[in-house]
């Protein structure tokens, strides 16, 4: 897996250890809730960093796929997995696509997203902008707690399911184990907040901040919905209920409520950006399902074997954080808020 990040300002301190810290967050320590593939990822910087600082040249970073078992896919290459990309990918690439492990549709692509996000998060950190993603629902188990930022920071990676409500996190874990035991899988919801975004960032009409954030988040496999602030609930509100009234606080323009999720007119409003992401249940399940044999063109049945995640939500959390960080950093550079040369401050 690899990534080339172009356009990163020069002068940002960057090391392989920075990537490692983020990559390690991808794999929860609880083996009961993840795939049996133990992906010990380590990043290698190929270009764009010299003497510990970014040079302004494209930054290439790679991670080797060491934990592969391609034989798991031989038996099913003509049997598209229901819910997976196998069938449309075979049509789109004329059968030349690498079907092993799902190829470019594998959840492994989140490694590359996380590599890019690591650079973005370091950049954003210099401007005190923090991006925090965490799980709020797995299947039907959900938390309604309003978390403080301190609680999110402290707890989100403490639980294997990445839910900062540790009691609920335990129940989520049990739900995943139960789904796995019955040869099934679960989806869930990831919430992501971005704090301290300055107002006025975005590039309407076609490069709105919410549009670009959604596009980046949809690059994470298994994402099926993205909403901002109150999201779909906004449709049932009256204008007077939905509008976030403005207020002066400590010399700053703020809003009383936060229904808009920190974005108005495709531009950041200066309030926290709040995004919720719906993730579907893992397609590859052991339960028998109907499919077709694309070689004989006859109906068939498939029960997927191999090492699959019974729920991809925990691994998707740092990927969504990375996709959001990447988009915000990009827009801050485009808007001239992050300069082309970073100097120590
Ligand atoms: C981190 C991560 C890990 C994933 N692991 C699996 C897996 O083990 N088995 C599987 O069938 N799908 C897995 N997926 C989901 C598929 O990649 C995804 O559902 C598929 O590419 C179809 O794309 P779509 O769901 O976005 O429509 C994973 C997704 C992510 C984000």
Residues 50-101: tens digit of each pLDDT: 999 999 999 999 999 887 767 767 778 899 999 999 999 999 999 999 888 7
Cα separation, 16 vs 59, whole angstroms: 12
Q: What is the pLDDT of residues 18-64, one digit of tens each?
A: 999 999 998 887 778 877 666 688 999 999 999 999 999 999 999 99
Helix axis angle, 109-125 to 313-334, nearest 10°: 50
Tell me, what's the pLDDT at 27? 86
Q: Is the pLDDT of residue 345 over 60?
A: no
Q: Is 280 in the pocket of ligand 1 (CB under 6 A)?
A: yes
Cα separation, 160 vs 170, whole angstroms: 9
Ligand 1 center–CA 109 separation, angstroms:
10
In angstroms, how far is CA 104 from the centroid of its own chain?
16
Q: Is the pLDDT of residue 138 over 80?
A: yes
Tell me, what's the pLDDT at 35? 74
Q: Is 318 in the pocket of ligand 1 (CB under 6 A)?
A: no
Tell me, what's the pLDDT at 67? 74
Q: How confident is the model at residue 269 (pLDDT cuts 50, 70, 90)?
A: very high
Ligand 1 center–CA 283 separation, angstroms:
7
Cα separations (Å) of 270 from 207, 232, 280, 316, 339? 18, 22, 31, 26, 20
The closest residue, in CA terms, to atom 5 on ligand 1 is 107
Q: How confident is the model at residue 316 (pLDDT cuts 50, 70, 90)?
A: very high
What average pLDDT does this structure show over 197-223?
98
Cα separations (Å) of 54 from 2, 12, 21, 303, 321? 17, 5, 18, 48, 22
3-state SS track over 18-29? HHHHHHHCCCCC
Phi then psi for residue 192, to 5 deg, are: -140, 130
Any bridge partners for residue 132, and if so which?
Answer: 193
The closest residue, in CA terms, to atom 29 on ligand 1 is 107
Q: What is the DSSP string of 81-104?
A: PTTSSHHHHHHHTTT-S--GGGGG
Percentage with pLDDT > 70 across the chain = 97
Phi then psi for residue 149, to 5 deg, are: -60, -35
Contact 41, 63 (CB under 8 A): yes
Ligand 1 center–CA 106 separation, angstroms:
6
Tell me, what's the pLDDT at 103? 84
Tell me, what's the pLDDT at 37? 64
Tell me, what's the pLDDT at 38? 66
Tell me, what's the pLDDT at 112? 97
Stated as kind and residue range, the H or E segment containing 178 is helix 166-181
Q: Is 307 in the pocket of ligand 1 (CB under 6 A)?
A: no
Cβ neighbourhood burial of 184 (10 Å; 0-12, 13-18, 19+): middle
Q: Is 28 in the pocket of ligand 1 (CB under 6 A)?
A: no
Taking the CB of residue 235, how many other CB atoms lie within 10 A of it?
Answer: 8
């Amino acid at each position: 897996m690899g990534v080339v990040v172009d356009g990163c300002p020069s002068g940002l301190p960057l090391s392989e250890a920075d990537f490692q810290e983020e990559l390690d967050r991808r794999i929860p320590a609880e083996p009961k809730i993840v795939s049996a593939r133990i992906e010990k990822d380590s990043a290698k910087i190929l270009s764009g960093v010299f003497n510990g600082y970014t040079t302004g040249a494209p930054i290439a970073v790679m991670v080797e796929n060491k934990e592969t078992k391609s034989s798991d896919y031989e038996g099913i290459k003509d049997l598209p997995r229901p819910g997976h990309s196998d069938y449309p990918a075979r049509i789109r690439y004329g059968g030349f696509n690498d079907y092993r492990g799902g190829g470019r549709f594998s959840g492994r692509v989140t490694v590359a997203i996380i590599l890019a996000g690591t650079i973005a998060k370091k950049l954003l950190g210099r401007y005190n902008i923090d991006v925090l993603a965490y799980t709020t629902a797995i299947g039907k188990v959900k938390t309604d707690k309003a978390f403080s930022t301190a609680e999110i920071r402290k707890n989100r990676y403490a639980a294997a399911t990445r839910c900062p409500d540790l009691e609920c996190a335990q129940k989520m874990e049990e739900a995943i184990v139960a789904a796995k035991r019955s040869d099934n899988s679960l989806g869930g919801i990831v919430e992501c907040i971005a704090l301290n975004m300055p107002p006025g960032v975005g590039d309407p009409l076609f490069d709105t901040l919410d549009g670009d954030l959604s596009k980046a988040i949809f690059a994470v496999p298994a994402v099926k919905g993205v909403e901002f602030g109150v999201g779909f609930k906004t449709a049932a509100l009256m204008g007077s209920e939905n509008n976030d009234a403005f207020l002066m606080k400590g010399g700053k323009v703020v809003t009383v409520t936060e229904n808009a999720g920190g974005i108005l007119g495709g531009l950041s409003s200066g309030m926290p950006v709040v995004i919720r992401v719906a993730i579907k249940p893992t397609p590859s399940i052991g339960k028998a399902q109907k499919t077709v044999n694309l070689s004989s063109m006859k109906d068939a049945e498939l029960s997927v074997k191999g090492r699959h995640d019974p729920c991809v939500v925990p691994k998707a959390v740092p990927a969504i954080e990375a996709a959001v960080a990447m988009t915000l950093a990009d827009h801050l550079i485009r808007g001239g808020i992050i300069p082309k040369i970073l100097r120590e401050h």
